[in-house]
Amino acid sequence: MSSSTTATRAVDHLVVGAGFAGLCAAIKLDEGGERDFVVIEKGSDVGGTWRDNTYPGAACDVPSQLYSYSFAPNPDWTMSFSPQPEIHAYLRAVAERSGTLDRFVFDTAVTDMTWDVDAQRWTVTTTGGSWSARTLVVGSGGLSEPRLPEIEGIEGFTGRLFHSAAWDHDTALAGQRVAVIGTGASAIQIIPEVQALAGHLDVYQRTAPWVMPRHDRTYGRLERAALRHLPGLQKAYRTAIYWGRETYVPPFTRTPAALAPVQRLALSNLEKAIADPGLRAALTPDFRMGCKRILISNRYYPALAADNTELVTDPIARIDGNRVVTADGTERAVDVLVVATGFFTTELPIAELVTGRTGRTLAERFAESGMAAFKGTAVPEFPNLFFIVGPNTGLGHSSMVFMIESQVAYIRDAVRTMRTHGYAAVEVREHVAAAYNADLQGRMKRTVWSTGGCSSWYLDKHGNNTTLWPRSTFGFRRLLASFDVASYHVSAAADPTDLSHPSNTPQTSTRRKDVSA
């Protein structure tokens, strides 16, 4: 879709982001007869994080059969854990088959989203013009804004520097002195690839992660043929993987001590891979397994044990020219510096661009007590705003695509409810959202993320875990099975026929109406 005109264009629904979340929203809105929508995407293609993260070794740590849409199974995965190019290609193929790409606007960034109280619509300003929308669906995700480390002198580094989410493929690594800052999920995929090329590799570790073997395998030709021609087989794979993953929920959320046997397996994995007792000690985590994200790799430990790799555990004090200086005074020269330091997850940058009914931004609201939303989807003061992959919807054990589909179903039912009853606006009640999040944070206190003895990116500055979901994924799906209008203030349209759907006749009502909880 072209974005060249300057006049404000009106649509029923505006979706921000074209990753798994935004694409799912587009497809399901279209299937529900809601065809007057636009998807705004800052990149040049669908894919989101799977378009942008092209670093060497990039792959998913959730099995392919589960990390895909339930309504778009893919019999052509080549491996049980898909590499980034296959996931991106999958999303492209789904988008092309969906017939919705004519309503995607690429290479366009959102710069402001403001609720118009009088019009009861969102005014959205972008680098390609402005839009007016009845509902605003934010599907930009929590892994879209890379976080650079706060290190003195990093802006003056004289070599080549880039974040793992913006890999510089023009920079040659062969024979170079390379440093990687970080030992998280992306870093442990990058490090083996870099170690195989670099003349020397320094890995700067702040906290040793728990690492389990990666039980990956290639799908042979016969197996892929069976998956293509026997749909029930692929469904059986998906179902088995799903329920296998759900067995992690009780240890994570209620009985962290039950993870002890898995922790012993991880220690055994470390002992087998690392012979040097000093290096092994440095790689042994000092917190309970599960408190931080559990990582999977068969190549990470061997890469750290290689002759051309040095693991550095002293904190980085500063960067001086092309040298990384640690707290003990050691200076290490570097040609290429890779920062694999994650993303803004507890302070969503997009929240600064969203202004609600009261005139304050979403970021200002979140700054008071932390990032929170009702069912990870709706926020008081922000009518007709729906998050996908919002606060406390992240997972430490299963597929985010399952959560995305659950939220999109809830949003689609909200839109259907609005049309059926002629509602121009729905806004979650403050006390309902507060009670929901109080219960959620209460549940969080007994989880391994709160009791495991670590500091992680799951936690915000208030010490609250605003990132993860502390229950089963099927519990989340049940919770979002239908739009609970009683939890919302509703406002009727001045002319309800403006909201009519071809298959529904809206009911008239007063201008402002509250549905009792």
Structural domain boundaries, residue 106:
9-145+349-444+476-514
Question: In this structure, is residue 455 part of a structural domain?
Answer: no
Question: In this structure, is residue 394 part of a structural domain?
Answer: yes
Question: In this structure, is residue 312 part of a structural domain?
Answer: no
Separation between Cα atoms, residue 228 and residue 21, nearest integer Å: 25
Question: Each residue's pLDDT tens digit in the chain (517 positions)?
Answer: 544 456 899 999 999 999 999 999 999 999 999 999 999 999 999 999 999 999 999 999 999 999 999 999 999 999 999 999 999 999 999 999 999 999 999 999 999 999 999 999 999 999 999 999 999 999 987 655 677 888 999 999 999 999 999 999 999 999 999 999 999 999 999 999 999 999 999 999 999 999 999 999 999 999 999 999 998 999 999 999 999 999 999 999 999 999 999 999 999 999 999 999 999 999 999 999 999 899 999 999 999 999 999 999 999 999 999 999 999 999 999 999 999 987 655 567 899 999 999 999 999 999 987 899 999 999 999 999 999 999 999 998 999 999 999 999 999 999 999 999 999 999 999 999 999 999 999 999 999 988 877 777 677 777 788 999 999 999 999 999 999 999 999 998 766 555 554 443 333 332 333 333 2
Separation between Cα atoms, residue 343 and residue 349, nearest integer Å: 10
Pairing of strands 129-138, 121-126: antiparallel
Give the SS3 label for residue 469: coil
Question: In this structure, is residue 77 part of a structural domain?
Answer: yes
Inter-residue contact 252 to 473 (CB < 8 Å): no
Question: In this structure, is residue 186 part of a structural domain?
Answer: no
What's the structural domain count of the chain? Answer: 1
Inter-residue contact 54 to 79 (CB < 8 Å): no
DSSP of 50-86, one letter per residue? HHH---TT-B-SS-TTTSS-TTS--TT-SBSS-BHHH
What letter represents residue 471's amino acid?
R
Give the SS3 label for residue 134: strand
Separation between Cα atoms, residue 476 and residue 436, nearest integer Å: 13
Length in residues, the chain = 517
How many C-beta atoms surround the C-beta of residue 150 within 10 A?
A: 7
Separation between Cα atoms, residue 398 and residue 443, nearest integer Å: 19
Q: For the domain that residue 369 is a member of, what is the CATH number? A: 3.50.50.60
The 177-181 sheet, strands edge to edge: 160-163, 336-339, 177-181, 200-204, 309-312
Question: In this structure, is residue 138 part of a structural domain?
Answer: yes
Question: In this structure, is residue 159 part of a structural domain?
Answer: no
Question: In this structure, is residue 206 part of a structural domain?
Answer: no
What letter represents residue 488's amino acid?
Y
